[in-house]
Amino acid sequence: MRLRRLVGSGLIVGFAVVGGVGCTVSGAGATSQCRVDGCVITFDRGVSAKASVLGVEAKLVAVNGDTVVLSVAGQEVSVPVGETRTTSGMGVTVQQVTEEKVVVRVSSGIGNGN
């Protein structure tokens, strides 16, 4: 009985650790940090910035004041800072805009209750 508890506890801890693992990818004017429920992409401004996340390409098209225009899986979407829009089945949230960068979260809608 004790062995089953130890094995079961080990499996639960293992799943919790794997569920929290993500990856970081850099290139083409962008850095992305991904987990199972989505990715945070930091786009550099002033360059042709794009990232491939969750099986789709996300590209920074323009910044107009507090509204960011992105292309996600070939579909353009305008998202005001702090708001979320849905395109190509994904949630797109603009988290931050500065003179140097644009930070965007692209969520898949799976995991973590999303």
Averaged pLDDT for residues 10-34:
59
CA dist 5 and 82 (Å) reads: 45
Tell me, rounded to whole angstroms, the distance of Cα 38 from its chain centroid. 4
Which tens digits make up the pLDDT trace of 60-101? 999 999 999 999 999 999 999 999 999 988 999 999 999 999
**For residue 52, how many other CB atoms are within 10 A of its CB?**
16
Identify the residue with better confidence: 104 or 13: 104
Task: Give the pLDDT of residue 54.
Answer: 81
The answer to pTM > 0.85 is no
